[in-house]
Amino acid sequence: MKPSPAITKIIKAARDSRDGDGCAHISAKDVGKLVKARLASEFPGVKFSVTSDYNSVNIHWDGFPMQDSVEAITRCYKFGGFDGSIDMEYSSEGWLLPDGRIAPASCKGTRGQRGAVPEFATDCPQPGAVLVRGGATYVFANQYIPAEAWAEAILSVSAERGEEVDLSGGVYNCILDGEFALRDREIQSRVAQVLADGFEARRPAVAK
Across the range 47-68, mean pLDDT stands at 93
Measure the CA–CA gap between 34 and 4, rounded to whole angstroms: 10
Measure the CA–CA gap between 21 and 34, rounded to whole angstroms: 23
pLDDT tens-digit readout, 127-141: 999 999 998 999 999
pLDDT tens-digit readout, 98-122: 999 999 999 999 999 999 999 999 9
Q: Which of 130, 98, 74 is nearest to 7 (CA)?
A: 98
Q: What is the pLDDT of residue 208?
A: 44
Q: Which of 172, 170, 175 is nearest to 158 (CA)?
A: 175
Query: Mean pLDDT, the chain, as a whole number?
Result: 86
Q: What is the pLDDT of residue 185?
A: 64
Measure the CA–CA gap between 108 and 62, rounded to whole angstroms: 36
Across the range 45-57, mean pLDDT stands at 93
Q: What is the pLDDT of residue 179?
A: 55
Is the CB of residue 51 less than 8 Å from the CB of residue 32?
yes
Structural domain boundaries of the chain? 5-143, 147-201
**190 vs 31, residue with greater confidence:** 31
Structure confidence at residue 30 as a pLDDT band (50, 70, 90): very high
In this prediction the pTM is: 0.82
The answer on pLDDT for 182 being more than 60 is no
Measure the CA–CA gap between 173 and 188, rounded to whole angstroms: 17
Measure the CA–CA gap between 134 and 56, rounded to whole angstroms: 11
Is the CB of residue 148 less than 8 Å from the CB of residue 178?
no
CA 36 to chain centre: 11
